[in-house]
Structures are given as C-alpha cells and as structure tokens.
Structure 1
C-alpha cells in the first residue's frame, strides 16, 4: 500500500504510542496491584491513561481470592467487560442481585449503570479475570458508585464526588 493511501487509514503519528509489554518484564513501574479500588480484590490496571496514555479504554487483571466478594456497584460512565481465566466467578446482577455462575471461559458484559458485583465462593482456588472499561481513559472516569445492602449509593473511600 502506498504511503499516501496508508495515511488515509492509519494514524502514523500514533505508531510511537503502540505498546507491547511481555509478561513479567517489569517495564511499567506504574502497573501496581490496587487493593483499595474494589475492597478485597487485587487489581492490576495495565492499560489506562496513566500507564500508556490510553484515551478510551482501561484494561486490567483482577484476582479474587478464595471466599471473597466485592461490593456491588455501577459504572456511571463506562461499559464493563470481563473474561474469566481461571476459577468460577459468581456474578451478582441487577438490583435483586441475581446470581449467575461464570466458570473459566465465560465472557461478561455490564452496560453502564447496571448494578453488578463479583465473588469467589471457593475456599481454595483464586478466580482470575481480565476486564475492560470502554470509552474512558481511567478508573476515575468510569465513575464507579458502590451500592450498600440497603440499596443506597455511596462512593468508595477517597472518591471525589466533584469532577
């Protein structure tokens, strides 16, 4: 393909932002395990604005330890997708917390504003999943709001309500 034609389709000036990070390379010091964002879970945000300058996607890996659940929540400004790699994740869906078993190999899609939460009922095996938030550059831009047991919304600790 000639360079002029390629320029119609390809953002050549963006090629320098293309990143491939092989496992366990330690290339990004900004990829840390976040245990505060969703209590009880170990989350690695590998693709976002902070790590690689992403503008419209967040992607990461979550480990749900044995016999652990996060708080049900909604993402006000992002769609969320998950893929279960190992273990069986329990998904709590909607205001009635409908229970859906999601074994390894399961894809999950949560539209923005849909209440959901996850759990691992195994006493020995971790659940590992990959997740993505679409249309946002960061977890903060996804605007997560947690729902307590009485159905009241509340922001997580440290979340600034004013943007």
Structure 2
C-alpha cells in the first residue's frame, strides 16, 4: 500500500521563477507541491560570471550540491572562499553570511539546493542590512 505522504515531483519548468540573486530558481519539493512541513528542494541555475549579493538566510539551513559547473561560495564575515564542483556538497547554517559565484565565463552553474524552509522562498537579507 502506498503512503500518501510520499511525493515524487519532477523539475517542471512551469514553476521556474527569476530569483533576485542573479539566478533562476525551480522549486521542486515544497509545502505546495508535496506537503513538506520542514524542507524544500529545488534547482538553481546561475548564468556565466554571475554572483549573488552577500546575504544571509536567518532561519534556514542550506545544502547545495553542484550538478554542472564550478562554484565558489564566500562564507562568513571575512567571506572565506569554498570552491565546490559537480558532486560536492556545501552546508551553510542559518544565520551565516555568504555569497555564490559562478566561476565559468561561458557556462551556467546548475545546483540542487535543499533548505529548512518548506516554501523554497528567498527569505534573506543582503549584507547592507545584516548586522555584522
């Protein structure tokens, strides 16, 4: 017997949204698509040479796994660089300042992102509004 709480959700382009951080977001697992109450997951695509603003997700842990391309994530008050490539994961705890950079000048960066926010919303503050 199937468990009605289990969901399989495809990466449908009709849910894609343009994020405010120079990237396309494709929410896949959310409270709306699967009934999740604690997690969300989606695909993030960042254009060549793009970078996000320095920001913080105050209430959401984030795990990012690069699928294609090479990323650099600058983390913490001193923006310490962490490089990650396809198949590698980075964990960023809630409340930690960070920014993402696509290191390629010619290819998009594609990653799977999991958040402890069931809506996969970009609730964040940029560095200019962060208390450092």
Q: TM-score, normalised by structure 2?
A: 0.86
The alpha carbon displacement at 1:133 in A equals: 0.8
Task: Decide which structure has the larger Cα Rg and report it.
Answer: 1
Which structure 2 segments of 5+ residues have no match? Answer: none
Mapped pair 1:153 → 2:130: yes
In structure 1, the partner of 2:118 is: 137
TM-score by length of 1: 0.71
Structure 2 counterpart of 1:35:
18
* Structure that is richer in helix per residue: 1
The residue number in structure 2 matching 1:108 is 90
d(CA) in 1 for partners of 2:7, 2:40: 14
Alignment length (residue pairs)? 131
Greater length-normalized contact order (CA 8 Å, ≥ 6 residues apart): 2
**Partners in 2 of 1:100 and 1:22 — Cα distance?**
30
Alpha-carbon deviation of 1:22?
4.5
Q: Hey, which bits of structure 1, 4+ residues long, moved more than 3 A?
A: none
